[in-house]
A and B are shown apart, each in its own frame.
Chain A
Amino acid sequence: MASSIAASRTPRARVSAALFRRPWLRAVLLLSAPGAWFVLIYLAALALLFVSALWKVDPLSGKLIHSWTLQNFEELVNEPVYRTIALRTIGIAAAATLTDVLLAVPFAFFAVRVASKRMQGVLFVAVLIPLWSSYLVRVFAWRLILAKNGILNSFLGGLGLGSVNIGYSNTAMWIVFSYIWLPFMILPVWSSLERVPDSLIEASADLGARGWRTFRTVIFPLILPGIAAGSIFTFALTLGDFITPTLVGGAGSTMIGNVVYSNVGIANNVPFAAAFAVVPLIVMGLYLLLARRLGAFEAL
């Protein structure tokens, strides 16, 4: 019937009716532009990242040599310094992730299960604000706080506790990474806690389990997918960062991101930078597989 009406109308109406009858055509047309953008630009760029990791730079002329070589990866594996940097990066990412779990779970528990509705709203906004305020700015704030003549030492000195020297160190990086990514952990944990039915907790209490036991055997397994989802962000974001190590790290704080950054800029060795950027990609791939097993994707 639609076709008989459409036939008597303007061309615009006819096109519209034709599209209405062919949903797949509409889907194809709608997806053409975003699809082209992602395939021709983003996926092509990712593919080129892998390819250029297999190229090298002529040490004399600084020109790219487009011939296949595993030289960059050999250098990554054989040079102990790069292994140290990779392990340091993964270690700090793991430490920040673990710290964020320990901070986020009690906080979210209070927000979801103890706080009043109004308080809950306030706490929620309080998580969103740092999440959306500039990341660079917040790292800079910590640089000022932890500096030798910063607030931390001024405060400790005021209490007569002397001073600490943690500015520009791995400790500073650990604090800052934990701080910066904390909201990314809180939100998924919060929403997974909201989904735990009260009846399960009541049942656990009725069966004689105390608070801690209920948490360990009932609540924790149920919020594990949320924790896994949050950890994807905290882990991935730390792996690829070079701002925090540059601003609050010290001499022994070089991370993968710094090596990539300096090889694109000063050293001008893009193939080597590409090869090292593949390392977090592989680590993240493995991590995503693990997170999927914990149900992280359902919690996203």
Chain B
Amino acid sequence: MTGSSRASRIALGVFTALLMLFLFFPIVIIMLYAFNPSNIQSWPLPGLSTRWFSPTWHNAEMRHALWLSVRAGLFSTAIAMVLGSMAAFAVHRFRFFGREAISFLIVLPIALPGIITGMALNSFISFGGVEFGLLTIIVGHATFCIVTVYNNVLARLRRTPSSLVEASMDLGADGLTTFRYVTLPMIATALVAGGLLAFALSFDEIVVTTFTAGAQSTLPIWIFGNIRLGQQLPQVNVVVLFVILLSLIPVALAQRLTRDTGVLRQAAAPAAAVP
């Protein structure tokens, strides 16, 4: 490249290598702890074993938390997919006053510190007299998940020519038919990618969830509670290994589905990863 000497390029390369080490070291270490045969969490590990995998899988509390997380994730993803794409269509097709305000409002639940969104929903739920539980968790998650779908669908819509829709209408198709045969196939992968990211986001979230779950435990709350009290740590380590793998699969798929728009690269996309 221009403007930098060989020495500074080498220095930058070494720095980058060290930073990579810094980024990945904790992730590799925590995955190794899942194979720790001892129930004392110290380094070096006395060996490697899968002896905690089976008791973890049969842990009733863990299963309950996992099932709650899966349900919350699926329902909030479904809501986010519907509301997020509706908003994306409205913003894409029509110029109107307050268009920017809508984008801003949709990003707000994750751009604001988690305790603000969490506290706000908490006051709202208790004021409304609604019982805390699956429903309130879903409402909270859907609110901050909408942005991933919105961003993905909007990015795709911006890259597809509106002439296709016009052609379909000219050929006599009504709005619904055009949506079914022209628009939906165009946005399908972006919609799915947004949904996958929404699920990953919901599955990992803990701060807002703490304030909206009441006495219920999602998987992250179960993990957090056990770490704090120092209970069942070997099983927590096993769950953690699977949580890492489970949260990366949807993201890897989403990345493949949206190569064209590269929406995962936008700065607004990392916002979607906010806990």
Contacts and interface: CB of A to CB of B under 8 A. Distances in A.
Contacts of B146: 34, 37
Interface stretch (A71-79, A80-88, A225-233): A225-233
B3 interface: yes
Contact of A240 (B19, B87, B207): B207
Interface string B38-79: 000111100000000000000000000000000000000000
Contact of B143 (A26, A42, A110): A42
Interface in A26-40: 26-27, 30-31, 33-35, 37-38
Contacts of A229: 267
Contacts of B210: 261
A48 B123 contact: yes
Interface string B97-114: 000001001101101111
A236 interface: yes
B41 to A, nearest CB: 6
Contacts of A233: 111, 270-271, 274
B270 A130 contact: no
B3 A202 contact: yes
B20 interface: yes
A131 interface: yes
Contacts of A183: 23, 270
A17 B169 CA distance: 9
A24 B93 CA distance: 10
Of the candidates B15, B109, B124, B243, the one having the most CB atoms from chain A within 10 angstroms of its own CB is B124
B89 interface: yes
Of the candidates B102, B175, B223, B224, the one having the most CB atoms from chain A within 10 angstroms of its own CB is B175
- Interface range for A: 35 or more
A150 interface: yes
B267 A149 contact: no
Contact of A30 (B30, B89, B127): B89
- Interface range for B: 35 or more
B2 interface: yes
A162 interface: no
Given A19-B175, A140-B223, A236-B111, A134 B127 contact: no
A154 interface: yes
The B contact surface, by secondary structure, is helix
Contact of A274 (B1, B123, B175, B269): B123
Contacts of B22: 179
Contacts of A232: 111
Contact of A34 (B86, B119, B206, B223): B86
A275 to B, nearest CB: 10
Contact of B43 (A126, A151, A214, A240): A151
The A contact surface, by secondary structure, is helix
Nearest to A257: B115
A155 B42 CA distance: 12
Contact of B240 (A130, A140, A150): A140
Interface string B179-217: 000000000000000000000100010110011000000
A107 B244 CA distance: 24
Contacts of A270: 122-123, 126
Interface of A: 9, 12-13, 15-17, 19-20, 23-24, 26-27, 30-31, 33-35, 37-38, 41-46, 48-49, 52, 103, 106-107, 109-111, 113-115, 123-124, 126-138, 140-145, 147, 149-151, 154, 179, 182-184, 187-188, 191, 198, 201-202, 204-205, 209, 211, 214, 226, 229-230, 232-233, 236-237, 239-243, 246-247, 256-257, 260-261, 264, 270, 273-274, 277, 280-281, 284, 299-300
Q: Closest 9 A-B residue pairs measured CB to CB?
A: A240-B113, A16-B174, A45-B124, A141-B26, A141-B30, A16-B175, A30-B90, A149-B42, A45-B120
23 contacts: A26-B94, A27-B90, A30-B90, A34-B90, A35-B102, A41-B121, A45-B123, A49-B120, A109-B12, A110-B12, A111-B16, A114-B1, A126-B20, A132-B248, A135-B204, A149-B42, A182-B23, A187-B266, A201-B3, A232-B111, A240-B113, A257-B113, A277-B115
